Structure 1
Amino acid sequence: MTSSAMNPITEDDIADFLLNTPDFFGRHAELLSAVLLTSPHGNRAVSLQERQAEMLREKIKLLEHRIMDMIRHGNENMIISDRLQRWARRLFLTASPQALPHAMAEGLQEEFMVPQVAVKVWGVADAFAGEPFAQGVSNDVKSLASSLMAPYVGANAGFEAVGWLPDASRVASVALIALRNGTDPQAFGLMVLASPDSQRFHAGMGTDFLERMAELGSAALSRLRPA
């Protein structure tokens, strides 16, 4: 019995040979049109060249879809950036410090179509200690805010801060955004964004823009802090 009979040539052997012999089809160019393959678009047979062309068209189509996704995401990011800029402008134009929390909440609702928003600040200067935004914040909420190194986005897990909203019973998802001075680990405020849509704020969403909101909001509200 011959060696070839004991060890028949396998498809892997053929594949290895073609990979390691790049000039094979150069010496046997006639095979490029003679070898027939089954097309994935029906049961018809196509030449190796036709199959390569089909694969190239599929790759081009996939790349086109990716480019369209990139353009769409870019446009969405531009829209959000414009809204963020308008929100920041509103804060800059708010002359009265005690009007800032309301301006922040109202701006978020109008610019980003957030159904419910609440803003609370603590550790404020004595002149603002009696304002509604400085009242009704428990130590537990303050501890929670200080523990948020990044915005929380996800389901409403019965957070105490949700009770600040006008209609807490209709909250399915929330974004909790801590307000702090730069890298200070202790937060001095908390923004609550809420929606009845369970997917409006979800764990898989990006928080880059929410973090920019936190930075802008914190800088604006620093006017309420003791000098």
Structure 2
Amino acid sequence: MSTIQGITENDIANYLANTPGFFERHAELLGSIQLTSPHGQRAVSLQERQMEMLRDKLKGMELKVMEMIRHGQENVAIADRLHRFTRAIMLTTNAADLPDVLVNELMHQFMIPQAGIRVWGGAPAFAALSFAKPVSEDVKSFASSLSLPYCGLNSGFEAAQWLEEPSAVMSLAMIPLRHGPTTNAFGLLVLASSDATRYSSDMGTEFLVRIGEIASAGLSRLLPAA
């Protein structure tokens, strides 16, 4: 930092900041000060530089507002899709149709390439249907151990074999179906993609949790009456 006879730039800056009357007494200096424009190497006056800074600040604020609007629009679109998904489940009168309706609506509303469901411990009337096919004890234990949906690469999960094209599954999300956070799972919902980055271990799971809660509520109709 440059000095003039022991006076530093900080000393000058502090003096000007603490002496507001200085430029009132030396108003001619304001018009003669020349600064370098950040938008080029041309010299500009102090007033012009202040206007440029103000324009840049306003531009930054405008971009932030536009970003907030964009996120707001995206959130509204997601809420609309979730509403249509929930409505389709609620309007399904035949309980046996629920798994197919749920899977098809998920794939359609949220552009999910593949999805599948397994439910265990269901009512005997549904035992012959595809969603009630047997699963291993490992799958049941894994589903019950999940406090949040699992998201990550497909490392040979049994659940991937429930899908139409298991060989195409690179990443997946597995969502436990249960009555509450402290109960064992009665099923597992699988969402899959051929994109290895679609479902990653560091992604947020709040939305998937909501999907799981809605699916669990609807599919509980498949269980024996308490």
Q: Note whether the superposition's TM-score is higher than 0.5.
A: yes
* Match 1:30 to one of 28, 31, 44: 28
Deviation at 1:24, TM superposition (A): 3.1
Structure 1 counterpart of 2:16: 18
Deviation at 1:179, TM superposition (A): 1.3
For 1:197-212, what aligned pairs fall within 5 Å after superposition? Answer: 197-212=195-210
Letter in 2 for 1:92: M
Decide whether the 8 Å contact of 2:147 with 2:181 is kept in 1.
Answer: no
Change (3 A) 1:72 1:85: same
Deviation at 1:98, TM superposition (A): 1.7
Structure 1 counterpart of 2:65: 67
**More deviation, 99-108/13-22:** 13-22
Distance 2:57 2:11 in 1: 28
Change (3 A) 1:103 1:17: same
Letter in 2 for 1:120: R
**More deviation, 204-213/42-51:** 204-213
Distance 1:161 1:22 in 2: 72
Decide whether the 8 Å contact of 2:120 with 2:134 is kept in 1.
Answer: no
Structure 1 counterpart of 2:157: 159
Structure 2 counterpart of 1:86: 84
Give the TM-score normalised by structure 2.
0.89
Letter in 2 for 1:134: A
Structure 1 counterpart of 2:113: 115
Change (3 A) 1:27 1:215: farther
Letter in 1 for 2:215: G
Structure 2 counterpart of 1:129: 127
CA deviation vs aligned residue, 1:110-166 (integer Å, no higher than 9, x gap): 111211000111222232233321223222222222222222333323322112111
Aligned residue pair count: 222
Distance 1:125 1:223 in 2: 9
Letter in 2 for 1:37: L
Percent identical residues: 56
CA deviation vs aligned residue, 1:78-133 (integer Å, no higher than 9, x gap): 11111111111111121111211111111111111211000111222232233321
Structure 2 counterpart of 1:169: 167
Letter in 1 for 2:82: L
Gapped runs of 5+ residues in structure 1?
none
Letter in 2 for 1:69: E
- Which stretches of structure 1, 4 residues or more, deviate above 6 A after TM superposition? none
Distance 1:203 1:151 in 2: 10
Change (3 A) 1:127 1:23: farther
Distance 2:153 2:19 in 1: 58
Change (3 A) 1:22 1:218: farther
Change (3 A) 1:144 1:14: farther
Change (3 A) 1:224 1:112: same
Gapped runs of 5+ residues in structure 2?
none
Query: Which SS does the other structure have where 2:115 is aligned?
Result: strand
Give the TM-score normalised by structure 1.
0.89
Letter in 1 for 2:206: D
Deviation at 1:204, TM superposition (A): 4.6
For 1:30-69, what aligned pairs fall within 5 Å after superposition? Answer: 30-69=28-67
Letter in 1 for 2:144: S
Letter in 2 for 1:188: F
Query: Which SS does the other structure have where 1:30 is aligned?
Result: helix
Deviation at 1:200, TM superposition (A): 2.5
Distance 1:33 1:156 in 2: 67
Structure 1 counterpart of 2:143: 145
